[in-house]
Amino acid sequence: MKTILIVIVIILFAGGIIWLVAFQKNILSQANLTQALAVVEFDKTVQDLGNMKVSEERTAEFEIRNAGSQPLVMSGLQTSCMCTFGQIIIGENKSPIFGMAMHGNPKWQGSLEPGQTAVAKVIYRPYLMPVQGPVERIFTFETNDPLNQKVNLVIKAFVE
């Protein structure tokens, strides 16, 4: 009886060690998977353009950085209003200027290598859709960052 008890304890102990090793390898492989992704980072996601006249035009710039270890792919660019336009600049390459989806934006896809940066320009032209008071407009695009598949860059202004 004592021998059977010792064998059972040894089997349970060995099984526990095997389980711990497998669990630790699973955690390490998940950590490696996380490091093998595109990760989008921004210097900011909201910019206030301040007070402006309806007749003015202002541009906000947002820095985009790929903090991951795989290329960051950006596509599906569009804006929330027909008075707002967006563009992504990667080095010397510029995307077309995008507007609202209903205006038939061109198909475009840009890629940032790990560590590379780009600039997203958001252009606001209130004279195209005259309003007064506080406004908020959005430039949206998609990425292959699993935690930020849809990005919203916001501009705010007070139109006089």
Taking phi over 0 as left and psi of -120 to 50 as alpha, with beta for the rest, 56 belongs to beta
Tell me how long the chain is.
160
CATH code assigned at 121: 2.60.40.10
Given a contact cutoff of 8 angstroms between Cβ atoms, the answer to whether 76 and 100 are in contact is no
Per-residue pLDDT of the chain (160 residues; tens, 9 = 90+): 667 656 565 675 655 566 545 555 555 445 455 456 999 999 999 999 999 999 999 999 999 999 999 999 999 999 999 999 999 999 999 999 999 988 788 899 999 999 999 999 999 999 999 999 999 999 999 999 999 999 999 999 999 9
d(C-alpha 136, C-alpha 128), whole Å: 15
12 with 69, same domain: the answer is no
Residue 2 belongs to what domain range? 1-35
71 with 22, same domain: the answer is no
69 with 128, same domain: the answer is yes
16 with 45, same domain: the answer is no
Residue type, 72: L
Could you identify the residue written with the tokens 């940066």?
Answer: 117
- Domain count of the chain? 2
